Amino acid sequence: MEPLFGVVLGLILAVASPAHDSCTCATNKWAVCAQDGLGNCTCRLAGSDHPVDCSTLTSKCFLMKAEMIPQKEKRLWRPPQGVSDSDGMYNPDCEDSGVFKARQCNQSSTCWCVNTAGVRRSEKGSSSLSCSELVRTRWIYIELTHKRSSSAFAVPDVAKALTQLFESRYKLHPKYIAAIKYDPPLIQIRLDQNKKPRWDVDIADVAYYFEKDVNNDSVFPSNSKLTVSVNGDALAIEKLGIYYVDEKPPEFSMRQLAAGIGAVVTVVLLTAGIGIAVLLILRWLRTKTYKKFECKEMREIKSPSLE
């Protein structure tokens, strides 16, 4: 009996072993397979309960879905489509003298070139981006509007008040104030500083201080609030815009400009197409009306009324 029992046991193991090894999916390596109590092999897609038919190919969509599943469940998974927010304020790299370094980078190794005002003047790139020099911001245009009053201020009075403000509060020499234009309620200020001696303030710093003052986020102590008066009357500033002009043109690509031009061309073509279509429709309607009228007259001529 013992030899017979051994033969039977060996046959059972021989049959069971291939059945166990066959519980895999031949067409999808990301499929998770398992045998149930009856010995049936069931395969499901990794990361979901969707059954997989291993006798045929798995759809591309399911394959891509399976590839997105992290291999190590104990680690937090960062999706490949995730991006970091690198816009807005950034922590700049400064020289010992306090000026901006020509190249600035954020924590995600995205870099760009800046001017002496710290304003980006190039496309964003990788950490291999090279910025050969720190280009100087030569001109700064400041546009602001004030709240309307019963009577506009005199142009010379506005220019005098703002000149005194920049000289006393921001320590800017009047020679760097190239022009002040006033067209109520718009005020335009142009600061021009081709070269900056070591003892003079930088117009970029002046513009930043002024912007912070106007936005009620002053860099000065809290007891030094910005007040601008013209002959004793308050000049309440409402809106502010600052524009920087460098010694050299910025290094942005033409993609944005091309996109804008393309949009304008598309609008023009669509407008022209609609106009032509309307003209053709109107012409067709007039022709149709004329033919109807002509046919009516012909019928009247061929069939004169009986007296």
User: What pLDDT digit, counting tens, does each position of 116-170 carry?
Assistant: 988 899 999 998 999 999 999 999 999 999 987 656 789 999 999 999 999 999 9
Q: Is residue 81 situated within a structural domain? A: no
Mean pLDDT of 8-31: 59
With tokens 């309607």, the residue in question is: 285
Specify the pLDDT at position 193.
94
Within-domain flag for 259: no
What's the rounded mean pLDDT across residues 218-241? 86
Does residue 192 have a pLDDT over 90?
yes
Is 190 inside a domain boundary?
Answer: yes
Rounded-to-integer distance, Cα 15 and Cα 19, Å: 7
**207 to 42, 159, 166, 191: CA distances (angstroms):** 70, 17, 10, 9
Average pLDDT over residues 172-191: 94
The better pLDDT of the pair 155, 19 is held by 155
Section 195-217 average pLDDT: 90
Distance of alpha carbon 51 from alpha carbon 33, whole angstroms = 10
Q: Is residue 106 part of a domain?
A: yes
Q: What is the pLDDT of residues 78-114, one digit of tens each?
A: 334 333 333 346 778 888 888 999 999 987 789 999 9
The answer on pLDDT for 289 being more than 50 is yes
CA dihedral sign, ordered 13, 19, 24, 26:
positive
Q: Beta-carbon neighbour count of residue 128 at 10 Å?
A: 7
- Has residue 8 been placed in a domain? no
Q: Is 289 left (phi over 0), alpha (psi -120 to 50) or beta?
A: alpha
Number of domains in the chain: 1
* Domain, as residue range, for 155: 31-68+88-252
Give the predicted TM-score (pTM) of the model.
0.55
Closest CA to 193 of 123, 140, 265, 144: 140
For residue 286, is it within any domain? no
Distance, CA of 90 to CA of 102 (rounded, Å):
14
pLDDT given at position 217: 84
In a domain, 23, yes or no: no
Q: Is residue 191 part of a domain?
A: yes
In tens, the pLDDT along 232-274 reads 888 989 889 999 999 998 887 654 444 445 556 666 677 777 8
For 171: left if phi > 0, alpha if psi spans -120 to 50, otherwise beta; the answer is left
